[in-house]
Amino acid sequence: MPLSTQSQGDAEQYVLVASLDNARNLSNILKAITFKDHAIFSATPNGLKVTVEDSKCLQANAFIQSEIFQEYTIKEDSVGFQVNLTVLLDCLNIFGGSTAPGVSTALRMCYKGYGYPLTLFLEEGGVVTVCKINTEEPEEPVDFEFCSTNVTNKVILQSESLKEAFSELDMTSEVLQITMSPSQPYFRLSTFGNSGNAHYDYPKDSDMMELFKCTKTQTNRYKMSLLKPSTKALALSCKVSVRTDSRGFLSLQYLVRNDDGQICFVEYYCCPDEEVAED
């Protein structure tokens, strides 16, 4: 593979080198969080985390473990930078994003450190493209302080059942209301639009419900405009976990299988729109 014929001397300068035989294993998951131009990359020996935020109220994270990469070398405990995600995706798809079986773009992503651009070596069918994307000082991602000990309600659903609901959501509603309760209606999504209200109810004994752990009745509203981008992650996923904590903060975690069947995660954190009195 042409990419591996790079001089060894070059390799010594990079603090991070990550290679994939199929660039789609990275680009597909990044598409699930592309609702803003800029993304914060944070690499550790465990893998790559990409964060996108919106107005400090919404945060999306994509996790690609080091095992997913064919080559993953990191010389520091933590490497961070910020790039334009749209540009990065354009580069990853530079060969046109063909979905023909057996044809894929190989990727070697290299970073020399602070002040250097992110270098992408992309190869398909013997043609190599080199892209250098300017990096920026990484912003500190918001810490939503969402910890499992504070979780009041948690459900895990098969994504199939939620996909239909999310595709039908009344977009004239400003908010999406999520009700979770140990009693009826158990798990309910509600919208309040121009033509009327809609409720989607998922009972706790539904065979789409893989886990149901609700300790108290909670109703929270979230801005529809903030949650709408999560539909992309939902579309890619096979399972989703929905958790709320005592403050009403929402955590959505999506289990995504890539082209090779390997598991990656995408999570969304969202602040509640307003306090709704808990029953």
Q: Which of 177, 179, 279 is nearest to 221 (CA)?
A: 177
Q: Is 15 in the site for other proteins (CB under 8 A)?
A: no
Whose Cβ is closer to other proteins: residue 35's or residue 186's? Answer: 186
Q: Is 164 in the site for other proteins (CB under 8 A)?
A: yes
* Given 168, 210, 259, 275, the residue binding other proteins (CB under 8 A): 168
DSSP-assigned beta bridge partners for residue 111: 16, 118
* Given 167, 215, 246, 262, the residue binding other proteins (CB under 8 A): 167
Shortest spacing between CB 258 and other proteins, in angstroms:
27
247 Cβ neighbours under 8 A, 6+ residues apart: 150, 272
Whose Cβ is closer to other proteins: residue 103's or residue 208's? Answer: 208
Give dist(CA 81, CA 206) in Å, integer. Answer: 43
Q: Is 183 in the site for other proteins (CB under 8 A)?
A: no
b/e 14-52 (16+ beta carbons within 10 angstroms → b): bbbbbbbbbbbbbbbbbbbbbbbeebbbbbeeebbbbbb
Shortest spacing between CB 166 and other proteins, in angstroms:
11
Q: Is 257 in the site for other proteins (CB under 8 A)?
A: no
Which residue has tokens 């990191």? 74
Shortest spacing between CB 97 and other proteins, in angstroms:
28
Q: Is 199 in the site for other proteins (CB under 8 A)?
A: yes
Give dist(CA 76, CA 17) in Å, integer. Answer: 12
Q: Is 231 in the site for other proteins (CB under 8 A)?
A: no
How many C-beta atoms lie closer than 10 Å to residue 272's C-beta? 21
Longest dimension (CA), the chain: 65
Whose Cβ is closer to other proteins: residue 129's or residue 197's? Answer: 197
Radius of gyration of the chain (CA): 20
What residues from 51 to 110 belong to the interface with other proteins (CB under 8 A)?
A: none
Shortest spacing between CB 11 and other proteins, in angstroms:
51
Q: Is 137 in the site for other proteins (CB under 8 A)?
A: no
How many C-beta atoms lie closer than 10 Å to residue 6's C-beta? 14
Phi, psi of 193 (to 5 degrees): -105, -170
Q: Is 146 in the site for other proteins (CB under 8 A)?
A: no
Whose Cβ is closer to other proteins: residue 182's or residue 203's? Answer: 203
* Given 41, 81, 202, 268, the residue binding other proteins (CB under 8 A): 202
* Given 128, 133, 156, 198, the residue binding other proteins (CB under 8 A): 198
Q: Which residues would be at the binding site for other proteins (CB under 8 A)?
A: 161, 164-165, 167-168, 194-203, 205-208
